[in-house]
A and B are shown apart, each in its own frame.
Chain A
Amino acid sequence: AQSVTQLGSHVSVSEGALVLLRCNYSSSVPPYLFWYVQYPNQGLQLLLKYTTGATLVKGINGFEAEFKKSETSFHLTKPSAHMSDAAEYFCAVSEVMKTSYDKVIFGPGTSLSVIP
């Protein structure tokens, strides 16, 4: 079975500083990987995804993530944090089902705080 771990349930950065949110996965087959952001009492918004091709993926709001197969990692970064980036971030892996629809497995989440 596939699983996702996120190191650090809470990360705090200063405004303008680098954001690094860690994600590692386990999978017996090539995975599809996602990062989602969730603001309080709201649903999930897709930041970026990796399916195939280029391992460095650029997403919305200046975020990007790099798929490293050798490290089974998909860490999320942003060069300069903004106050509006404060939210809950979920890394997720997609499990390809025989029935051809994908079940998404979510990591435990990382809460990002941005200090002015």
Chain B
Amino acid sequence: GAVVSQHPSRVICKSGTSVKIECRSLDFQATTMFWYRQFPKQSLMLMATSNEGSKATYEQGVEKDKFLINHASLTLSTLTVTSAHPEDSSFYICSAGEGGGVYNEQFFGPGTRLTVL
């Protein structure tokens, strides 16, 4: 099946710094990528949807200036958490879809554990 990778798998940073998380589709072109956030013992919350070459669509309540998303190519999307604070500590998961047609299966990355001190 299609493979999605994320880098880094785990990151610890100081409060006030910015952190970039990469999401790559390894063996397919992803026209659409999704970013999720998961708090401990909770479900995945969709943060934003990005299409290659266009601006991301953010879900209600998600600060677009706080969570910058770039989808510059068909195989790479990045999420930058700007001026991170302890409350941003979470598990971030991306998924990618191949696009085309009404139904597009999403393939999930392994996640990135962010800890802000």
Contact = CB atoms under 8 A, between A and B. Distances in A.
Interface of A: 32, 36, 41-46, 49, 51, 90, 94, 96, 99-109, 111
Interface of B: 4, 6, 31-32, 34, 41-46, 49, 51, 91, 93, 95, 97, 99-106, 108-111, 113
Given A32-B103, A96-B102, A108-B42, A101 B110 contact: no
Given A101-B32, A101-B99, A102-B104, A109 B42 contact: yes
Secondary structure type dominating chain A contacts: strand
Contacts, number: 61
Contacts of A51: 103
Contacts of A96: 102-103
A95 to B, nearest CB: 10
B4 to A, nearest CB: 8
A36 B94 CA distance: 14
Contacts of B104: 100-102
A102 B111 contact: no
Contacts of B100: 100
Contacts of B113: 41
Nearest to B93: A43
Contact of B43 (A46, A90, A94, A102): A90
